[in-house]
Structure 1
Amino acid sequence: MSYSVVIPAWNAARTIAETLRSVAAQSVVPAEIIVVDDGSSDETEATVLQSGIPVRYVRQDNAGPGSATTRGFALATAPLIATVDADDLWLPQKVERQLRRLDQAPQLAAVFTLWRTFRHGQPDDGTGTAGPGWSRTTMLVRREVALAVGPVIDPPGNRGDMVDWLGRAREDGHQLGMIDEVLALRRILPGSMSYGRDPARDRGYLEVARMAMLRRKLKNAGQG
């Protein structure tokens, strides 16, 4: 089954070419690669267009990674959608393993993988921290599910958007699978959206928790 790749990008000129190369190097090549530039002010556009990799490049005003991901969902044409952040990497067998899992378990709406950290400017040596990647970078999702769950909402600080989206997917009854193998790499990059602790950005996680509690309260009230 074919798949589209959606890459939300914001000021990603330092890293996106390497991300694109890791996507293009997949043992099962994608049907299309969609880069949604979320209002970058650096050389992201030039880097993407000069990468030598066929890409559909779309630019929007800055609205957050969730908004850019949602735009990519709407543009994707293949029955499956793989997503990756513009500073992370895939290992070559990632999507092939995920396609196999979806074929073996048709009840799954999406499949994720373990991922391992590495530091920007240093090659991955296999010693980084590894764990379950319930994240945009490791997700392969059925397109109809992505559209049914709805927009990826950007909380305050632009952190927690995928935590919220995956929570809503589970609440809607969609089954999510995890492959117990490191198939993606998470870049540790100072200044990136996900780097370190930041009280202003971390407010997003609190808002995600608040929204989940509100949804449960409304659901319980409706069942009462």
Structure 2
Amino acid sequence: MAVPVMAGYGVVIPAFNAAATIGAALNSVLAQTVKAEAIVVVDDGSTDDTVAVIEAMNLPVTVLRQENAGPGSATTRGFDALSTPFVATLDADDLWLPDKIEKQLACLDRHPGTAGVFAHWRTFRGDRPDLPETASVAGWSRTTMMIRQEVMSTIGPIVDPQGGRGEMIDWIARVREAGFVLAMLDDVLALRRIRPGSLSYGRDPARDRGYLEVARLAMKRRAQGRAGGG
């Protein structure tokens, strides 16, 4: 595939206690066939050696640190630190496949009216990305997202609901409600790691409250829209 001739992109990785996985995540970014102009890791109040691991790798990565506020807050801060016209995001325990960015930039180049593009992904456990466990599914997620910078400036911050889950569901819904067009590639371009302690690991009633909050906010916006239109 020919690499599209277009403006560059930056990468945002929110990280919380990701010392065991951040190295692999960063290496998957560096392995892309189209290189990033800037890579920003936002350490969200980690209490482990996340930052030390990054510093020991001696990579061209900017590390920002903040008190623990949630992955949405950390992602938003990373966006604010970048000036690239496109931004790709990645959770600190997931991986990109090498041609992810190339295929997404090509899609955006072909469809200038598309605001963002996502991709399919597969799940793996522990340290065996070579053994994905499930069939691919559409990844409407931070890990598969590449989006135009102006979307964030229009929509506003990614808000962390109580419990810590559902912030991307809420933000993507707000993007669509604002009329932006989002695309989903059929290609598997990322791998989702499942590990104990991660936000995606198993059911957790406290964390799952976030999904209920997201649903409540969506219904509130719809009700306000009907009231405004009537």
TM-score relative to the length of structure 1: 0.98
2:129–2:191 Cα contact (<8 Å) kept: no
Output the CA distance in 1 between the equivalents of 2:156 and 2:135: 32
What corresponds to 1:33 in structure 2? 39
Bigger drift between 26-35 and 191-200 goes to 191-200
Equivalent pairs, count: 224
Aligned match of 2:83: 77
Gaps of 5+ in 2: 1-6
The amino acid that maps onto 1:88 is: D
Return the alpha-carbon distance in structure 1 between the equivalents of residues 24 and 56 of structure 2.
12
120-129 or 176-185: which moved more?
Answer: 120-129
CA distance in 1, matches of 2:216, 2:135: 29
Alignment of 1:12-51 (within 5 A): 12-51=18-57
Matched with 1:147 is 153
2:173 aligns to what?
A: 167
State the partner residue of 2:70.
64
Find the counterpart in structure 2 of residue 220 from structure 1.
Answer: 226
SS of 2:72's equivalent in the other structure is: helix
Post-superposition Cα deviations, 1:125-174, rounded to whole Å, max 9, x if no partner, equal: 34433100000000000001122111000001110000000000000000
Distance in 2 (alpha carbons) for counterparts of 1:48 and 1:129: 32
Q: Which amino acid aligns with 2:14?
A: P
Which AA in structure 2 matches 1:28? V
Could you tell me how far apart the structure 1 residues matched to 2:176 and 2:105 are?
A: 21
Partner of 1:101: 107
Structure 1's 185 and 85: CA in aligned 2 closer, same or farther, altered over 3 A? same
Task: Say whether the 8 Å CA contact 1:24–1:53 is kept in structure 2.
Answer: no
Hey, which bits of structure 1, 4+ residues long, moved more than 4 A? none
1:79-133 residue CA offsets vs partner (Å, 9 max, x unmatched):
1000000000000000000000000011100000000001112242344331000
Q: Offset of 1:175 from its aligned partner?
A: 0.4
- Could you say what the CA RMSD is over the residues aligned between the two structures, in angstroms? 0.9
Q: Partner of 2:3 in structure 1?
A: none
Q: Does structure 2 retain, via aligned residues, the 8 Å contact 1:115–1:182?
A: yes
Corresponding residue of 1:128: 134
